[in-house]
Structure 1
Amino acid sequence: MPAPPNWLSSMANQVASLMYDVDVLAPIGCHFFHNASRNEWEVTLFASNTEIVGGEWDGVLAPSKFCFDILKLGEYFEEVRALYWQALPVDYDDQLGPHISIEATYEGHQVWVRVLAESPEEFEPGRRIQAYDANLKEIW
């Protein structure tokens, strides 16, 4: 995947800064796509999973627990057209699941930004923890 434009990286970092960890937050993932037919950038942010290695929970993928400052989110954009909260998956194959979504303008670009409650299944864990010594290792 090519590197994102500078403005998109700045926006993603600002939005990610609104994710306040409850425990130690795993690395933040960002997926982006330019939808040329709508002239809109789709950006999806999520905290990666932590894979547990060893012990009775060996192989479990644990999501990061975090809170999100929804009110501050709107301050980063020039114009907000829509703000949504999807509380549950809408179908059995809903890859996004629960998330917050904002359709807005950022530095003149039309964006649709989503912050997911959990990492999508297709992404590898962002870190591992050794169960016996609580050693955290960042993977990406």
Structure 2
Amino acid sequence: MLSSNEILDTISMIDQQHLDIRTITMGISLLDCADPDAEAACRKLYDKVCRKAEKLVETGEAIEREFGIPIVNKRISVTPISLVAGASITNDYVPFAAALDRAAQTTGVNFIGGFSALVQKGMTDGDKKLIAAIP
């Protein structure tokens, strides 16, 4: 049970020290979206992110209202795209970035992370293609 002092301290932090929750993040595995057809993979990726995160912003806002503490960013983190796109027969990973961007806009999140590659121990062809798509 919270004491009166603890409650007043929390109210003071919110009011005077601008306490907030910096970020809530939903992690989504996209490994099951891999497909030899890049267009199909992008469609699966978009559909899955939108389906899983469709209520993320709404839920974050409900939490803000319930506890009276603002949540600054609502974001999504996905499996590194080099792993998903690496299964596709394509040299162009830009459509994967576009699909992620569309999913972020549809769900209303502030940020979607995962257009990345795991290169700390070397690079696969998929990693190289992803890095080439960044510019």
- What TM-score, normalized to structure 2? 0.29
Higher Rg of the two aligned structures:
2
- What TM-score, normalized to structure 1? 0.28
